[in-house]
Structure 1
Amino acid sequence: MNTIAILNNLGVFFKKYPVQELEQALATRGYKVVYPVDEKDLMKLLEMNPRISGVIFDWDTYSLDLCQQINQINEKLPLYAFANEHSTLDINLADLRLNIYFFEYCLGSASDIAHKIEQATEDYKDSILPPLTKALFNYVDEAKYTFCTPGHMSGTAFNKSPVGSIFYDFYGANTFKADISISMPELGSLLDHSGPHKEAEEYIARTFNADRSYIVTNGTSTANKIVGMFSAPAGSTVLVDRNCHKSLTHMMMMTDVVPIYFRPTRNAYGILGGIPKSEFSREVIAEKVANTPGATKPGYAVVTNSTYDGLFYNTQFIKESLDTKFIHFDSAWVPYTNFNPIYEGKCGMSGEAMPGKVFYETQSTHKLLAAFSQASMIHVKGELEEESFNEAFMMHTSTSPQYGIVASAEISAAMMHGNAGRRLIQDSIDRAIRFRKEIKKLRSECDGWFFDVWQPENIETTECWNLNPNDKWHGFKNIDEDHMFLDPIKITLLTPGMNEDGELSTTGIPASIVAKFLDQHGIVVEKTGPYSLLFLFSIGIDKPKAMQLLRALTEFKRGYDRNMTIKSFLPALYQEDPQFYANMRVQDLAQGIHDLTVKFQLPELMYKAFDVLPEMKMTPHDAWQQELRGEVREIPLSEMVNEISANMILPYPPGVPVVLPGEMVTEQSRPVLDFLEMLCEIGNHFPGFETDIHGVYNVDGVYKVKVIKQ
């Protein structure tokens, strides 16, 4: 990180040679010096190169205006201003928090100035490193001899084995040196929330506008279970978003609670919609309680915000409407909401605490911020019994946490601090909006078909776009005003085959074919629907990646329009079954899959499959206990009507359960079964297009499920 930018257009002798001396002095201390050509070049350099650790410039030439511009990019970056003895500063340092040092042009003083720059650089690094990471780095630097875990002893054990050495070289020395035991007192404890761990969680809470934050090292799946098992004691009733992640179903299988479901919507594309406002009302909830055996007044509610497809709620409405003590927003996909004003009022930590209520926000830090996989956070707003909560925390947390994951969670928070963090999120939003406009532009210029974007017509304003009930683009029926909003960085592209009214065309291009083509070109789609593709424009997406995606989409169009053979156009798919795909062309494949969706009347099926829920005959906990006792049998999926499912059944993606343990598919809810059978039939007809369905097993070509013995 030791790189200094010198903004130097100096030609005068008494200015030029002192700067040259300084460059040499910095080089001897291991610094790299770069020379932007002008002010504009400097700003671009700072925006694109976070490793710059300081800027040297001439005060008489650039003065306060340059400082203000740099401050907008990084307010902590050290600035070094050279001035001659006749200069006047003409600045009120109290008006602007400037990290600025002043020097004079003088031959022979380069070594002293370089020493001061080195000190300032170290202070800068120290000021931006958060507490736990700083303590971990210091521990690694001390290189202590330990006689505890882990057994590889800072990587020594790996280097005693040929294959271990390969592993060690791949990851590098510091990875293993920082993999340490929880026994190190100077680092405190993640389980007791002491020492630097406590400081890290306090630092994170301040950053994310929470009263209390917890670092979780096994993903938001674990964070959800921690929150749910603390907030919903056995025998209580819980309100659960039917579009919940399977981790919440697992929580209900682990503890004996009675679930009542918020019933959300879907559109014909299969995009997950929101829960209507009416579902949050006391009257509707009271009616559901009255109609559910064993149910009582709920004390805990969980809502997925945002949805997988990027739809936010007006969270203030939910907080005010729900009559429960604990309100949990599963925000796994949106850990960035506190760092841009367009998300205000649309996330769990927005606004103030409310008397008598506790708000949770669980976030997958690794998903759309910069952290290692499994890094997650729980944010809390409101008063809770911390000792009891920590028991639930420890119940699901390893006594040997991976310090690299913990530190990466803290670093992701540090990256969001100040102007630099806000700029990162704004850049993501701007990049996503530019990409959306580029798709629209290409669509207008293309002969024939091209991909479309699921969004309002007018996206000139940077905001989370409101799903207006009077608009047709979103495809949801009877939605509420000022309730759901589309996140600009979640981009859903649409393929031909269905119009905005949810009507199937005579021809179509199923999105699964596009996803396979993109995968062959090194591009992984986040979620693939029947005629939709979801892309996440996180802070790690840069312009080259966005351009590569555009190029791949245009390449797909070119190959599709030429009706290339599967063997040449999709060689990996061809290898799945060379005999089946021997003479097939891509348009034949597309039409074949499209005809199956027409056969199953996909749009109508999408509406019906999630309109009538299967009947709950026993709680998920009781169903799981029956399975553990062996009180289950295996039957074909097609025979599931009027049987009680032993397992949750959910297709990937998006990993949202459609049948839960203890539920019975009836004739009224049969469209759920039709939907699953459609997915299976597509896989049976076309090798390589099988859908991964949790809870459904292919046994000798027959799809089977487990049901409770009756």
Structure 2
Amino acid sequence: MKTPLYTALSQHAEKKPYSFHVPGHHNGDVFFDEARVYYEPLLQLDVTELVGLDDLHHPTGVIQEAEDLLAQLYGADQSFFLVNGTTVGNLAMVMATCSTDDQILVQRNCHKSVFHAIELAGATPVFLETEVDNKLHVPTHVTEETLKHAIARHPNCQAIVLTYPNYYGHAADLSKLVQTCHEAGMIVLVDEAHGAHFVLGGAFPPSALSYGADVVVQSAHKTLPAMTMGSFLHLQGERIDAKRVKTWLTMLQSSSPSYPIMASLDVARAFVEEIKEKGQVNEIMRGLSKLKDQLKRIPHIELVESDSLSNDPLKCVIRSTRGLTGYELKKVLESVDVHPELADDHQVLLIFGLGKMRDIPFTSIEHALQHSESLLIGMEHRQIESASIEIDQQRQGMEAVPFEEAEGRISAESVIPYPPGIPLMIKGERIEADQIATLSRLLEHQVHVQASQVIKQRKLYVYIEEETR
């Protein structure tokens, strides 16, 4: 299986070259001894734009070859390696399609990076409410009826941003949505962060590219064996200006892109391609089924799936049958060093890999669940964490108010539980009672929330509307 970039890097490292260039560790010769044992092999690949290793921002050699192989695998007209995660892909695709005062349709449960992109572009979002899965109690997808109603009210929208699948792996059929948007003259942008593996087919849902989306961004590091921050961006069709997207990627990404991350993307593509060529998808499915069967045999938990949408087999949602919230169940699992992806009020989300993983300590999990009550009582209370995003209290036009006074006010900041990174409250949005109630529950369960520090005092920043009239 071809891995042009990784092969070029490994061949360069095998020559034991002398480094008189950046980065400052000089192929690992200069490094902190205590950390060397973990970093040393990787540092040999951590180089810069040397002869034969190409340039991400103007690829003509091995990076271009690797990206061409990526496009061939995914059936895209053009594909790009991203070293700043799907975040930079979302930023680039929105800013390439929208300008100041343009309207753009946005699925309400989009990732925070989409809202950041819209703010940077100066565009105006038109929110599309999503359906809610009755079994998992999480937002899922936009219906065709909701979309057509929004287009009728806002016929001049330039583009639409859809999230597919949702964080829990629920994948709705996008064919009619894409067709409706294209008929209305809109560019379809899809954040497919959790669907980079859908290209494998079989029991996996279809890729958004197969539905005809114009731009699709995928987090290869989420479900493929790529390094963190490694993502793909795919283009197809004539509706999107490829040069404009590429320009924004060049402007938004580091001018010193990580070669280990790029090489891991090259390797991840080869990994997926090999699975397809060797017909190993069914074998992977059997392994996933066996793993879920073992989880089902553990007392005091149950597996939960949507019964109305396609479910990604790599996602597994478990619940306590003894009345534990998802947050409490997560703490129980973490007590035996089993770390899930996220928790919510009801359940915990596990993400499996595309291959054999280390043996799971089922016995330890079972024991921890049997003693969950005493375990949770005995856990040391941890201070609620929040991101250090500071807003000047003297900033004109906003004030911090207690939660109980925030209902009906316009939020002056976004409040984002992380993960999943979907804003609970969006800057510029009127705050509703149920949002405050949800935030209170999150804080009670010590969920990590990205917001200003005043949230620790159960306060929110809101705009002073009297001063803006």
State if a TM-score over 0.5 links the two structures: yes
Provide the residue aligned with 2:165 in structure 1.
Answer: 306
2:180, 2:392 → 1: CA distance?
A: 37
- Considering only CA atoms, is the larger Rg found in Structure 1 or Structure 2? 1
Provide the residue aligned with 1:210 in structure 2.
Answer: 76
Contact preservation (8 Å) 1:209, 1:338: no
Provide the residue aligned with 1:320 in structure 2.
Answer: 179
Q: Return closer, same or farther for 1:495/1:556 CA change in 2, 3 Å cut-off.
A: same
1:148, 1:194 → 2: CA distance?
A: 22
Tell me the SS of whatever aligns to 1:417: helix
1:691 equivalenced with 2:447 (yes/no): yes
2:106, 2:226 → 1: CA distance?
A: 28
Can you list the C-alpha shifts for 1:81-129, whole angstroms capped at 9, x where unaligned?
xxxxxxxxxxxxxxxxxxxxxxxxxxxxxxxxxxxxxxxxxxxxxxx24
1:169 equivalenced with 2:37 (yes/no): yes
2:303, 2:67 → 1: CA distance?
A: 39
Offset at residue 670 of structure 1 (A): 2.3
Offset at residue 261 of structure 1 (A): 1.2
Contact preservation (8 Å) 1:201, 1:215: yes
1:373, 1:430 → 2: CA distance?
A: 27
Q: Return closer, same or farther for 1:634/1:428 CA change in 2, 3 Å cut-off.
A: farther
Can you list the C-alpha shifts for 1:275-317, whole angstroms capped at 9, x where unaligned?
2221222x44222x2xxxxxx6112111111101110021222
Equivalent of residue 634 in structure 1, options 400, 415, 421: 400
2:16, 2:369 → 1: CA distance?
A: 57
1:235 equivalenced with 2:47 (yes/no): no
The code of the aligned residue for 2:304 comes to W
Q: Return closer, same or farther for 1:514/1:194 CA change in 2, 3 Å cut-off.
A: same
2:112, 2:231 → 1: CA distance?
A: 16
Contact preservation (8 Å) 1:339, 1:422: no
Tell me the SS of whatever aligns to 2:92: helix
Offset at residue 517 of structure 1 (A): 1.5
Offset at residue 198 of structure 1 (A): 0.8
Contact preservation (8 Å) 2:108, 2:129: yes
Contact preservation (8 Å) 1:336, 1:425: no
Provide the residue aligned with 1:259 in structure 2.
Answer: 125
Provide the residue aligned with 2:387 in structure 1.
Answer: none
Q: Return closer, same or farther for 1:678/1:385 CA change in 2, 3 Å cut-off.
A: closer
Offset at residue 338 of structure 1 (A): 0.6
Contact preservation (8 Å) 1:633, 1:708: yes
The code of the aligned residue for 1:454 comes to V
The code of the aligned residue for 1:201 comes to E
Within a 5 Å distance, the mapping from 1:283-682 to structure 2 comes to 283-287=149-153, 289=154, 297-322=156-181, 323-343=184-204, 346-350=206-210, 359-383=214-238, 384-419=240-275, 423=279, 425-440=281-296, 442=297, 450-455=300-305, 467-468=307-308, 484-496=309-321, 508-539=323-354, 541-542=356-357, 544-545=359-360, 548=361, 550-560=362-372, 565-566=374-375, 573-574=379-380, 576=382, 630-665=396-431, 669-680=432-443
Tell me the SS of whatever aligns to 1:187: coil
The code of the aligned residue for 1:274 comes to H
2:208, 2:133 → 1: CA distance?
A: 25
1:522, 1:540 → 2: CA distance?
A: 21
Offset at residue 386 of structure 1 (A): 2.9
1:575, 1:628 → 2: CA distance?
A: 33
The code of the aligned residue for 1:635 comes to V
Offset at residue 377 of structure 1 (A): 0.6
2:28, 2:429 → 1: CA distance?
A: 50
Contact preservation (8 Å) 2:85, 2:231: yes
Question: Mean alpha-carbon deviation: is it higher for 132-141 or for 416-425?
Answer: 416-425
1:627, 1:312 → 2: CA distance?
A: 42
Q: Return closer, same or farther for 1:691/1:707 CA change in 2, 3 Å cut-off.
A: same
Q: Of the two structures, which has the highest relative contact order with CA contacts closer than 8 Å and spacing of 6 or more?
A: 2
The code of the aligned residue for 1:670 comes to A
Equivalent of residue 181 in structure 1, options 30, 43, 48: 48
The code of the aligned residue for 1:170 comes to Y
Tell me the SS of whatever aligns to 1:149: coil
1:628, 1:639 → 2: CA distance?
A: 19
Q: Return closer, same or farther for 1:424/1:409 CA change in 2, 3 Å cut-off.
A: farther
Provide the residue aligned with 2:459 in structure 1.
Answer: 704
The code of the aligned residue for 2:235 comes to V
Contact preservation (8 Å) 1:432, 1:491: no
Within a 5 Å distance, the mapping from 1:20-169 to structure 2 comes to 128-158=1-31, 164-169=32-37
Tell me the SS of whatever aligns to 1:349: helix
Tell me the SS of whatever aligns to 1:452: strand
Contact preservation (8 Å) 1:365, 1:409: yes
Offset at residue 372 of structure 1 (A): 0.8
Provide the residue aligned with 2:137 in structure 1.
Answer: 270
Tell me the SS of whatever aligns to 2:203: helix
Offset at residue 262 of structure 1 (A): 1.4
Offset at residue 348 of structure 1 (A): 1.3
1:317, 1:392 → 2: CA distance?
A: 29
Contact preservation (8 Å) 1:432, 1:489: yes
Can you list the C-alpha shifts for 1:592-649, whole angstroms capped at 9, x where unaligned?
xxxxxxxxxxxxxxxxxxxxxxxxxxxxxxxx99999754322222211232211111
How many residues align? The count is 455
Contact preservation (8 Å) 2:109, 2:130: yes
Q: Return closer, same or farther for 1:489/1:628 CA change in 2, 3 Å cut-off.
A: farther
Q: Return closer, same or farther for 1:157/1:696 CA change in 2, 3 Å cut-off.
A: closer
Q: Return closer, same or farther for 1:627/1:396 CA change in 2, 3 Å cut-off.
A: farther
2:392, 2:250 → 1: CA distance?
A: 27
Can you list the C-alpha shifts for 1:225-247, whole angstroms capped at 9, x where unaligned?
11111122222111111010011
Contact preservation (8 Å) 2:275, 2:281: no
Q: Return closer, same or farther for 1:554/1:332 CA change in 2, 3 Å cut-off.
A: same
Offset at residue 672 of structure 1 (A): 1.9
Can you list the C-alpha shifts for 1:366-402, whole angstroms capped at 9, x where unaligned?
1111111110110112134333221111111111011
Tell me the SS of whatever aligns to 2:196: coil
1:257, 1:644 → 2: CA distance?
A: 19
What RMSD over aligned residues (CA atoms) do the two structures have, in Å? 2.7
Q: Return closer, same or farther for 1:557/1:149 CA change in 2, 3 Å cut-off.
A: closer
1:516, 1:424 → 2: CA distance?
A: 35
Can you list the C-alpha shifts for 1:504-537, whole angstroms capped at 9, x where unaligned?
xxxx222222211211111001121222111111
Tell me the SS of whatever aligns to 1:341: coil
1:270, 1:659 → 2: CA distance?
A: 18
Q: Return closer, same or farther for 1:495/1:223 CA change in 2, 3 Å cut-off.
A: same
Contact preservation (8 Å) 1:339, 1:421: no
1:638, 1:422 → 2: CA distance?
A: 59
2:27, 2:291 → 1: CA distance?
A: 44
Provide the residue aligned with 1:221 in structure 2.
Answer: 87
Give ranges in structure 1 of 5+ residues lacking alignment.
1-127, 159-163, 290-295, 457-466, 469-483, 498-507, 578-623, 684-688
Tell me the SS of whatever aligns to 1:655: coil
Q: Return closer, same or farther for 1:658/1:179 CA change in 2, 3 Å cut-off.
A: same
Tell me the SS of whatever aligns to 1:302: strand
2:276, 2:131 → 1: CA distance?
A: 38
1:213, 1:626 → 2: CA distance?
A: 41
Offset at residue 130 of structure 1 (A): 1.2
